[in-house]
Amino acid sequence: MINLENHYRGKTVFITGHTGFKGTWLALMLCKLGAKVVGYALPPATEPNLFELTELAEDIVHIEGDIRDYPKLKEAISTHQPDILFHLAAQAIVLDSYTNPKETFDINAGGTVNVLEALRGSKTKACIIVTTDKCYENNNWVWGYRENDQLGGKDPYSASKSMAELATAAYRSSFFSYNDKASLLVASVRAGNIIGGGDFSPFRIVPDCINALAQGQVIEVRNPISARPWLYVLDALNGYLQLGSTLLQGDTTKADGWNFGPHENRAITVKDLVQKTIAIWGSGSWKDTSRGTHRKEMPFLRLNWDKAANLLDWAPRFNWEQALEATIEWYRAHQQGNEIRALCDQYIENFSQEKQHEVYSRTS
């Protein structure tokens, strides 16, 4: 097991999108590892949001900026000279990409190019571009996609993330010579559908479930038969950090694309997730609203993460049920008025010590 603190303590880590759900969790993890965190992002997109609930701005360098603003982004990177950069800033909602396709491409594809271009000639040692499991050409296979499978995308969001992957590969091969020990090492990560406490985004199944259950409403489910690789947020971010530590050590073989997915050998559908959420909550009901929906997501998606298991010694610590229980416990604590920064720090501490809170260990 990699001791991440040895690799991140005292390092300057630049995060784009640090005001988002995953970005805030990543910044919290890095703060506990002793890193100096510099965040660059727009203000949080929801109210409430994890960034403000944790009062994270008090502990990091917080820069409000648009990933599409290349001069401002380049100035921020040049000023802070990070050791490693994690690029998470994105338009991350599939349904929103139908409403605002140009904005989605500008942010997800153009924003990635801006990051890579801003890093050219810098002293930054490593960069991790965060894309998505949806970057693959989806053929509804029952087996998981591998990192060398064809990229694609039938909706603007998926296509924009595929473009980000292509841009990353092009910059890697064109501008970052790995024969030069001083060269920037760039990797990309493609994780499953992330679940965890602190996500308040619309059109995401777990937050939608929690909102409905808390208000005594019926959960509306658009695509109940869709199967997704559900992955706990701390498992995904732990994978990103493990990969980043190898890049910081100068391992050129790790400058590549990487999948991070769940343990499950069978497909877990949205219906499975919703029914389990109701069972954990203790009450509730749901209804299928897929009829008449003309913008459906692809029904089947799985990831193969053998590469990360064998070359990074990474594996998720939570199965989907444990991840869901931990997530629902977080939302209950939030609704009960618990101090969120302390709650998140305890979750991270338990995870880093490979402890499992009592609720985590229960499975059906």
The predicted pLDDT at position 292 comes to 61
Is the pLDDT assigned to residue 132 strictly greater than 50? yes
| Better pLDDT: 142 or 214 | 214
Residue 115 confidence class, pLDDT cut points 50, 70, 90: very high
Instruction: Find the mean pLDDT for residues 71-76.
Output: 99
Residue 177 confidence class, pLDDT cut points 50, 70, 90: confident
- For the stretch 305-355, pLDDT in tens is 999 999 999 999 999 999 999 999 999 999 999 999 999 999 999 998 875
- For residue 15, list its beta bridge partners: 39, 86
Is the pLDDT assigned to residue 297 strictly greater than 70? no
Multiple choice CATH, 4-353, 3.40.50.300, 3.40.50.720, 3.10.20.30, 3.40.630.30: 3.40.50.720
- For the stretch 276-285, pLDDT in tens is 999 999 999 9
Residue 296 confidence class, pLDDT cut points 50, 70, 90: low
117 is written with which tokens? 């271009």
The structure's pTM equals 0.95
Indicate the range of 1-5, 7-11, 180-184, 324-328 predicted with least confidence.
180-184
- For residue 63, list its beta bridge partners: 40
Is the pLDDT assigned to residue 63 strictly greater than 70? yes
What string of DSSP letters covers 72-84? Answer: HHHHHHHHH--SE
Domain boundaries, given as residue ranges, for the chain: 4-353
The predicted pLDDT at position 182 comes to 59
Is the pLDDT assigned to residue 181 strictly greater than 80? no
Measured CA distances, 196 to 25, 43, 61, 130, 328 (Å): 10, 21, 25, 17, 8
The predicted pLDDT at position 78 comes to 98
217: left (phi over 0), alpha (psi -120 to 50) or beta: beta
Instruction: Find the mean pLDDT for residues 285-306.
Output: 82
User: What CA–CA distance (Å, rounded) separates 35 from 27?
Assistant: 9
Instruction: Find the mean pLDDT for residues 89-103.
Output: 96
User: What CA–CA distance (Å, rounded) separates 258 from 234?
Assistant: 16
Is the pLDDT assigned to residue 363 strictly greater than 50? no
Measured CA distances, 165 to 188, 195, 347 (Å): 7, 23, 31
Mean pLDDT of the chain: 93
The predicted pLDDT at position 46 comes to 96
Is the pLDDT assigned to residue 158 strictly greater than 60? yes
The predicted pLDDT at position 237 comes to 99
Is the pLDDT assigned to residue 360 strictly greater than 60? no
